[in-house]
């Protein structure tokens, strides 16, 4: 049985810039085979969108709750969105 794709947008707050958070998120998304993007925000947070099968998207969101070594996640905001049919995962500037 195929699960319909879902989309989650996350904002990660804490010490999440300058610790390779975006690249680690991209690598995790590729390993999980989910689409989307990740970018730094001017307020010091990191924003990411994940699209794909629910279990894989949830695994990507779970990664963001701790991030790579060196990151210190204070809190994470997550919301559902309608999938857009993304096919790759990129780092946005």
pTM listed for this prediction: 0.95
- CA–CA dist 83, 8 (Å, integer): 8
pLDDT in tens, 12-43: 999 999 999 999 999 999 999 999 999 999 99
| CA-based nearest residue to 28, from 1, 4, 10 | 10
Confidence of residue 93 (pLDDT cuts 50, 70, 90): confident
Q: Which two tokens stand for residue 42?
A: 């001017």
Could you list the active site residues? 22, 40
- CA–CA dist 86, 29 (Å, integer): 13
pLDDT of amino acid 3: 81
Q: Which domains does the chain have, with CATH numbers?
A: 6-91 (3.30.70.100)
Q: Is the pLDDT of residue 61 over 80?
A: yes
């Amino acid at each position: 049985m195929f699960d319909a794709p879902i989309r989650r947008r996350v904002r990660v707050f804490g010490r999440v810039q300058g610790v390779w958070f975006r690249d680690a998120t991209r690598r995790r998304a590729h390993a999980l085979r989910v689409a989307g993007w990740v970018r730094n925000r001017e307020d010091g947070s990191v924003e990411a969108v994940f699209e794909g099968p629910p279990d894989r998207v949830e695994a990507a969101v779970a990664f963001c709750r701790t991030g790579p070594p060196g990151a210190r996640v204070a809190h994470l905001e997550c919301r559902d969105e309608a999938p857009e049919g993304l096919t790759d995962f990129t780092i946005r500037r």
